[in-house]
Amino acid sequence: MKKSLICVSCPLGCPIEVEIENGEVISVSGNTCKRGDQYARTEITNPVRSLTTSVKVEGGVHPVVPVKSAGPVPKDKMFDCMKVINEATIKAPVKIGDIVIENICGLGVDIVATNCDCGK
């Protein structure tokens, strides 16, 4: 079976063809870099995405500070992660890279701040 994908690893968006037999990836073509190959293989077996959102901050210049998952999370767990992040409140000051939520939903991925807020 052949499956067509668009690589989302970077803004190039390479069109990729994956050949699958019995649920296993036989070959990947169309990618221009190694990340494309990697993307195609995980996309078929266990699709993942990096998650970016914001978290409430107390005493900050702004009411929220942007965060991201330090690594990719399974695509079907994104809304579970959103729920946890939206229930959390952190305190200013916050620096880029600060861990906001450790090991979110037990996925082994931390949620980290992507901007600073030195507080009011």
Q: Is 62 in the site for other proteins (CB under 8 A)?
A: yes
Cβ proximity to other proteins, 20 vs 56, nearer residue:
56
Contact track, other proteins, 29-58, x by CB under 8 A: --------------------xxxxxx-x--
Distant-in-sequence, close-in-space partners of 63: CB < 8 Å, separation ≥ 6:
56, 57
Residues 6 or more apart whose CB falls under 8 angstroms from that of 12 comprise: 32
Handedness of CA 36, 72, 46, 79 (dihedral sign): negative
* 68 touches other proteins (CB under 8 A): yes
Residue 82 interacts with other proteins (CB under 8 A)?
A: yes
Residues forming beta bridges with residue 66, ordered by sequence position: 54
Closest CB 58 distance from other proteins, rounded Å: 12
Return the number of the residue (2 or 95) whose C-beta is nearest other proteins. 95
The owner of tokens 């979110």 is 104
Angstrom distance (rounded) from CA 100 to CA 64: 12
Task: Read off the tokens for 31.
Answer: 């990618």
Q: Give the residues lining the site for other proteins (CB under 8 A).
A: 6-13, 15, 49-54, 56, 62-64, 66, 68, 75, 78-79, 82, 86, 96, 114-116
